[in-house]
Amino acid sequence: MLLIGLGSVLCSGAIYAQATLPEQGPLMAYVGTFSSPLKEPLPTQVDLPPGNGRGIHIFQVDRKTGQASLRGELVLGTSPSCLATNAAQTILYSANETDRVEPQGSATASVAGDKQKHGTVSSYAIDRSTGELKHLNTVDSGGAGPTYVSVHPSQKHLLVANYFGGSIAVLPIASDGTLGSASDVKVDSGEIGPTRAVHAAPGSFAFSGHDRTHAHMISADPSGQYVLHVDLGLDKIFVWKFDPSTGKLSAAEQPFVALPPGDGPRHFHFHPNGKWFYSIQEEGSTVAVYDWDSQVGRLSIKQTISTLPAGYSGSNFCSEILVSPDGRYVFAGNRLHDSIAIFSVGLDGALRYETEEWTRGNYPRSFTFDPTGEFLFCCNQRADHVAVFRVERAMGRLQFTGQYLPVGNPSHVLFVDLGKN
């Protein structure tokens, strides 16, 4: 069931660039959530508190003020927790982070001989005049608990990270935006890191994923020649060569880099110049800074810096990391400390801690810039709202606008500009 008017859209790990937006045409924000079905049986839940979302919540955003108005909901009980769009912004993809398949889906939720049920990924056509979503198809994600999706720069493949399956998958994208069966699946393996992170704050009991392999994020580098993914349980960042003609992955010359034991890499983001790479560690509460050699697909560590203010003690779980559209600042999310740490970027890509901003809610799972970089929308998962901040770009500070968007267990915001041709 889709209740829709003019709405808002999207969230992804794409590289941001400064944009001059047309004055006409609505700007939409789609908010992915952790959601439960309206009837029994309940799906496998992946986080707490579960199920307060109703699927994909749709808002229309005022470009000048950041004010957002609810325009509809795509009601789903599948926890569409991460959203991505193609470059033309005509198709929306959702990672469905349960093993439940909605009636509109066409996927088989489990694979014969596999003891662990798989999740699914869905595709939707975006009506460019209204923002309405129309379901196209749903396919197997190649593992359990798909937590992240991104579109390869070629626009011909969708990349999927399966958190509970400890696997990544490449799904072909047809000319009409529908998804095909996986052209490649890689299952992570290796020694699981310790439950105590090397860089954890004093008194920390932060433990989330060092019980098994957990692929948490996957994305191509800016050139599209390489695909990188992180496994939180293995404390590794993997680097793959990508063949766009076959949709196959093969190990790069440097197949992985290892993070300090127990620190748990979660998300990453490339600098707009394509030369610097920033990885955030969930349990170690750090940002690791790397130089990226796009010619051979090599990461070289240059700095590790805490996301927490000096003197902090206790538990904290890092979440999102984003480079500002102008490349001058890096923003890093802290859950339990409930803040966004703000770093300035030096001439060599190294970071300097500047300050932090309270997220105005509990457990900030992710945050996203609007297309101009003027506003930041923060998903406070356990507070059941999205808080909206204005970005003071001269100093990289965040100013709370006073606006909360009521959304149950928000996970991800994705913007779609319906005024863009």
Does the pLDDT of residue 14 top 90, yes or no?
A: no
Percent of the chain predicted with pLDDT > 90: 84
Whole-number Å distance between alpha carbons of 340 and 22: 30
Query: What type of residue is 334?
Result: N
CA distance 137 to 102: 11
Q: What is the pLDDT of residue 177?
A: 98
Note down the domain range covering 252. 2-417
- What is the pLDDT confidence band of residue 98, given thresholds at 50, 70 and 90? confident
pLDDT tens digits along 148-197 = 999 999 999 999 999 999 999 999 999 999 999 999 999 999 999 999 99
Contact 84, 12 (CB under 8 A): yes
CATH number where 82 lies: 2.130.10.10
CA distance 176 to 174: 5
Q: Residue 381, SS3?
A: helix
Task: Give CA torsion, residues 403, 408, 414, 420, to 10 deg.
Answer: -60
Task: Say whether pLDDT at 16 is over 70.
Answer: no
299 burial type by CB count under 10 A (0-12 exposed, 13-18 middle, 19+ buried): buried
Q: By the 8 A CB rule, do 83 and 94 touch?
A: yes
pLDDT, mean over the chain: 90
Eight-class DSSP state of 77: S
**pLDDT-based confidence at residue 24 (cuts at 50, 70, 90):** low
Q: Which of 21, 134, 22 is nearest to 369 (CA)?
A: 21
Q: What is the pLDDT of residue 18?
A: 39
* CA dist., res. 402 & res. 35, Å (int): 26
pLDDT band at 50 (very low <50, low <70, confident <90, very high): low
Q: Is 363 helix (H, G, I), strand (E, B) or coil?
A: coil
Is the pLDDT reported for residue 349 higher than 50? yes
Task: Classify 383 as helix, strand or coil.
Answer: helix
Q: Which pLDDT does position 23 carry in this prediction?
A: 52
Torsion angle of the four alpha carbons 28, 379, 215, 144, in this order, in degrees rounded to the nearest 10: -80
Of the given ranges (115-119, 328-332, 385-389, 403-407), which has the lowest mean pLDDT?
Answer: 115-119
241-272 pLDDT per residue, tens: 999 999 999 999 999 999 999 999 999 999 99
Q: Which residue has the higher pLDDT, 298 or 419?
A: 298
List, for residues 296-327, the tens digit of each pLDDT value.
999 999 999 999 999 999 999 999 999 999 99
Averaged pLDDT for residues 201-207 = 94
Residues of 261-296 as b/e, b for ≥16 C-beta within 10 angstroms?
A: bbbbbbbbbbbbeeebbbbbbbbbbbbbbbebeeee
Tell me the residue ranges of DSSP E strands in 221-323.
226-231, 236-243, 248-258, 265-270, 276-281, 286-293, 298-306, 317-323
Q: How confident is the model at residue 104 (pLDDT cuts 50, 70, 90)?
A: low
Count of structural domains within the chain: 1
Q: For 408-415, what is the mean pLDDT?
A: 97
Strand, helix or coil for residue 74: strand
pLDDT band at 43 (very low <50, low <70, confident <90, very high): very low
- 166, with CB counted inside 10 A (0-12, 13-18, 19+), is buried
User: What is d(CA 22, CA 102) in angstroms, rounded to the nearest whole number?
Assistant: 37
Q: What tens digit of pLDDT does each residue of 367-394 get? A: 999 999 999 999 999 999 999 999 999 9
Mean pLDDT computed over 203-219: 95
Over residues 388-405, mean pLDDT: 97
Where does residue 241 rank: exposed (0-12), middle (13-18), buried (19+ CB within 10 A)?
Answer: middle
- 419 — pLDDT class (breaks 50, 70, 90): confident
Distances (CA, A) of 57 to 161, 260, 272: 23, 38, 29
Percent of the chain with pLDDT over 70: 87
What are the C-alpha distances in Å from 68 to residues 82, 89, 280? 20, 20, 29
pLDDT of the residue at 51: 84
**Is 150:13 a contact under the CB 8 Å cutoff?**
yes
